[in-house]
Amino acid sequence: MSRRAAGLAWVVPALALVGVFVYFPLVENFGFSTLKWDIFSGSQEYVGLGNYAKLVDDPVFWTSLRNNVLFAVVSIVFQVFGSLVLAALIEGVRSERWQRALRAIYFIPCAISLTVAGLLFYFIYEPNLGLLNHLLEAVGLDGLRHAWLGEEGTAMPAVMAMSQWQGFGYSTLLFAVAIQRIPREIYQAAALDGTGPIRRFFHVTVPLVREMTGVLIMLTISGAFQVFNEVMVMTSGGPNNSTQVLGTWLYRSGFVRNDFGYAAAIATVIFVVTLAIAVAQLWVARRRRVEW
């Protein structure tokens, strides 16, 4: 027994780090969410579920939540289903060298930070010097010019478009790996049966990468509820809170408006959503094992 207990020495550093800096703050957060708390003056007052009641009445909270959901939907369309089709197209390219080059090119935006990418698109969307307006002008679509990040109607789509640009290479790469793991004989057999490429995609590729699809859907939803960086860099939630997401609204409530209890309540919402997704993911992973 003492020998077994000594084995714990291996996991103590990791447990200590994760316990103190990940789990403990998580638990503390619930306590904080019941306070009216000014961190600078240090005044704290117990308000029970008051912050949650305030949350329900806060229109910006609902805008944020809606933007997160929208982010999830758009990202699933582009970064899961779009990437799956794209990966299948790349795998259809005959030259392996070109396949590798394309995958690498598409991945580059994932290697650079969201801050750099966000700043870059801030300039691309800039009404005067930005590439987008100049491009529209060059092809004669002057009427479509916008101050993309400055107008309530276009800001959120513009931020989401940038996010898709930055992230699609990641899921494409993962789908490409998943497709490569499918035994070649299955494709050869399908081709011999006279199955065309489109049917092969739906009848062979899609079912055999469904485990990866499931994981990526979950990761994408979970990521969409944690979106922060791209919004912070490009619009800080503006104009008129139209691009606010839960992460930036949390940040603004706590660190700009000095309402830390309220920020903690928003954090609880993020926690509940991401936990639900994580549980769903475990459940799905247990049920769907692809066998061949």
Partner 1 sequence: MVTRLGFLGVIARLLLWAFLLCLAVVVIYPLLWMLLNGFKTNAEIFGNPFALPSHWGFDSYQKAWNRGVSNYLTTSVLVTVTSTVATVFVSAWAAYGLARVDIPFGKVVTGVILGGLMLAPSVALVPLVKMFQSMGLYNSFWALLILYTAFRVPFTTFLIRAYMLDLPREVDEAAEMDGCGRWTAFWRITLPMCKPIIVSTVLLHILFAWNEYLFAMVFTSGAGVQTLPVGLMSLMSKHGTEFPVVFAGMTIAAVPVVLLFFFGQRYIVRGLADGVGK
Question: Please, which of residues 183-202 interact with partner 1 by CB under 8 A?
Answer: 187-188, 191-192, 197
> Measured between alpha carbons, how far is 73 from 41 in angstroms, rounded to an integer?
41
Q: From CA 218, how far away is CA 274, in angstroms rounded?
A: 9
The closest alpha carbon to 232, from 217, 248, 216, 210, belongs to 248
Alpha-carbon distances, residue 215 vs 50, 105, 235, 241, 291 (angstroms):
36, 24, 30, 32, 16
Return the residues of window 13-52 that contact partner 1 according to CB under 8 A.
Answer: 13-15, 17-26, 28-29, 32, 39
Residues 6+ apart with CB under 8 A from 32: 260, 261, 264
Contact status: 251 vs partner 1 (CB under 8 A): yes
Q: 86 vs 159, which CB is nearer to partner 1?
A: 86
User: 120 or 159: whose CB is closer to partner 1?
Assistant: 120
- Position 123 contacts partner 1 (CB under 8 A): yes
Q: How far is the CB of 27 from partner 1 (least distance, A)?
A: 8
Contact call for residue 249 and partner 1 (CB under 8 A): no
Q: Does 159 bind partner 1 (CB under 8 A)?
A: no
Residue ranges in the chain assigned as alpha helix (H): 2-6, 12-18, 24-32, 50-56, 59-75, 83-92, 96-111, 114-124, 131-138, 152-180, 184-192, 197-200, 206-208, 210-224, 229-234, 246-251, 260-287
Provide φ and ψ at 231, rounded to 5°: -70, -45
Instruction: Give the whole-angstrom CA distance, residue 20 versus residue 85.
Output: 43
CB 229, CB 115: distance < 8 Å: yes
Q: Which residues in 46-85 contact partner 1 (CB under 8 A)?
A: none
Of the candidate spans 54-62, 64-72, 143-151, 243-251, the one that interacts with partner 1 by CB under 8 A turns out to be 243-251
Among 158, 160, 174, 234, binds partner 1 (CB under 8 A): 174
Pick from 43, 49, 62, 115 the residue near partner 1 by CB under 8 A: 115
Rounded Cα distance, 235 and 118, in Å: 10
Distance of CA 205 to the CA centre of its chain: 24
Q: Is residue 161 close enough to count as binding partner 1 by CB under 8 A?
A: no
What is the rounded CA–CA span in Å between residue 240 and residue 152?
Answer: 7
| Residue 149 or 212 having the CB closest to partner 1 | 212
144 scored as a contact of partner 1 (CB under 8 A): no
CB of 32: closest distance to partner 1 in angstroms?
A: 6
**Binding of partner 1 by 136 (CB under 8 A):** no
Binding of residue 5 to partner 1 (CB under 8 A): yes
Cis amide leading into 13 (omega within 30): no
Binding residue (CB under 8 A) for partner 1 from 149, 178, 208, 234: 178
Quick check: 264 binds partner 1 (CB under 8 A)?
Answer: yes
Question: Is residue 278 near partner 1 by the rule CB under 8 A?
Answer: yes
Stretch that binds partner 1, among 7-15, 47-55, 61-69, 142-150 (CB under 8 A): 7-15
Is there binding between residue 217 and partner 1 (CB under 8 A)?
Answer: no
Residues touching partner 1: how many (CB under 8 A)? 94
Give the residue, chosen from 229, 238, 239, 284, that forms a contact with partner 1 under the rule CB under 8 A.
Answer: 229
With H, G, I as helix, E, B as strand and everything else as coil, classify residue 280. Answer: helix
